[in-house]
């Protein structure tokens, strides 16, 4: 597994637009073979996303698709408008992978 961790500081008034765009991009990624993503906001107001892929090559292929003719016009540009600061991403190669589904009681509560 390959994981990319992204971090941003966002314009507060554009956070909801950023979330909606991240959701759309993630759905396209899942359709292209991604393992999905999670989006978080830390206690200092920094936004963090974790995206999972089968490989670095699969992620790079998705980025190529996103820039091609089939990409939704303006999606990346709309997401970029919300960003005040883009912090350097982290790219991680899996060494030990023990992700597990949450028990039903936790999944239903959203925590």
**Alpha carbon 28 to chain centroid distance?**
11
**Per-residue pLDDT at 110:** 53
Segments in the chain below pLDDT 70: 68-73, 75, 105-111
**Per-residue pLDDT at 79:** 78
What's the chain look like in SS3? CEEEEEEEEECHHHHHHHHHHHHHHHHHHHHCCCCCEEEEECCCCCEEEEEEECCHHHHHHHHHHHHCCCCCCCHHHHHHHCEEEEEEEEEEECCCCCCCCCCHHHHHHCC
**Per-residue pLDDT at 109:** 52
**Per-residue pLDDT at 71:** 58
Q: pTM for this structure? A: 0.80
**Per-residue pLDDT at 13:** 95
């Amino acid at each position: 597994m390959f994981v990319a961790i992204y971090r941003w500081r966002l314009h507060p008034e554009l956070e909801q637009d950023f979330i909606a765009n991240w959701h759309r991009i993630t759905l396209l990624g899942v359709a292209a073979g991604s393992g999905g993503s999670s989006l978080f906001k830390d206690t200092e107001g920094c936004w963090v996303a974790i995206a999972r892929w089968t490989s670095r090559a699969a992620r790079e292929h998705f980025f190529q698709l996103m820039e091609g003719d089939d990409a939704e016009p303006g999606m990346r540009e709309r997401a970029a408008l919300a960003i005040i600061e883009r912090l350097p991403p982290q790219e991680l190669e899996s060494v030990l992978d023990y992700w597990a589904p949450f028990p039903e009681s936790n999944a239903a509560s959203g925590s």
